[in-house]
Structure 1
Amino acid sequence: MTSPGADADDRAGVTIRCRDNASVGVTFCGRFSSGAGFVHYAFELRAPGLTARLDEVVAWVGDSGLTAFLEELATDLQGWAGERSWQTDDRDLTVSAVFRSGGHVGLTWTVRPWPRADGGWSASVTTWLEAGEQMTALAAGIRRFLSEEHH
């Protein structure tokens, strides 16, 4: 799929491209289960001149944290003031959302490996999506990615 927004391939992962610039985006990929009710996955972000990757993001199987956050954004078609945000328990992946007139949601994805270590680094990109259909597709794709059993 080459259109902006969320692309879902249940095996490969989920890719989100910025509607304003398709060379800016993020990908959830490399999902694997390591037992005990949680899964690991990789998260990549890219923009012209920038590529960053977290290799082992941890999520509980069926974790509704990120999915619930995205679903709430998708249903809030009237928009909101200020910024809303979500982060992993390890604080190595954060997403913050802003609403702009015209019905668009800006998602700023930030990776911060080893957030408690000295000399760490972070990288961010912002993807702009349509508030309705593209946000709904993104939330559904992330739900499938995090909850599906991959063999």
Structure 2
Amino acid sequence: MTSPDGDLEDQPAVTIRCQDDPAVAVTFRDRFSFDRDSVHYAVEARAPGLSARVDEVVAWIWDSDLAGFLEELAADNRGWDGERTWHTADRDLAVCAVFRSGGHIGLTWTLRPWQGTAGDWSASVTTWLEAGEQMASLASGIRQFLA
């Protein structure tokens, strides 16, 4: 399930909770922009025993769009074979989508900052959502967040 959130300062945020285990979640927050060409934001992943955050993920206007990727998944709610993937230009955020019977989509969110540097790390969580309305709601929420 997805929900628009607001923190104490009423900043925009979107949280994706796994319908199978609500303790597993991904939150987009702390959006800001230096110019008209990009939007910067933080992504947090949580699961039992895991809490990870990547600051300054960048969405460039000329890159493939996360909201567009999610909208395509929502539109293809009858399913597909294999995996569909998306990632930022810097590859610090990646999403892998799979379809399972019963009309559910698994989104594996991978956070991987500082690639190629000493001390780099990665963390992944998987959220399961209904293929129709929940995916459409997520796509809409992300589009509004990144606007």
CA RMSD across the alignment: 1.5
Question: What does residue 23 of structure 2 align with?
Answer: 23
Question: What does residue 8 of structure 1 align with?
Answer: 4
SS at match of 2:140: helix
- TM-score where L is the length of structure 2: 0.92
Superposed displacement of residue 28, structure 1: 0.3
Question: What does residue 89 of structure 1 align with?
Answer: 89
Which string of whole-angstrom CA distances, capped at 9 and with x for unpartnered residues, describes residues 85-115 of structure 1? 0000000000000000000000000000112
Superposed displacement of residue 61, structure 1: 4.9
SS at match of 1:77: coil
8 Å Cα contact 2:63-2:89 kept in structure 1: no
8 Å Cα contact 1:93-1:111 kept in structure 2: yes
Structure 1: 5+ residue runs without aligned partners?
Answer: none
Q: State how 1:37-48 maps to structure 2 within 5 Å.
A: 37-48=37-48
Measured in 2, the distance between the counterparts of 1:118 and 1:95 equals 24
Whichever residue aligns with residue 143 of structure 1, its letter is R
Q: Structure 1 pair 128/76, CA: closer, same or farther in 2 (3 Å)?
A: same
SS at match of 1:98: strand
**Percentage identity across paired residues of the two chains:** 65
- TM-score where L is the length of structure 1: 0.90
Measured in 2, the distance between the counterparts of 1:32 and 1:111 equals 19
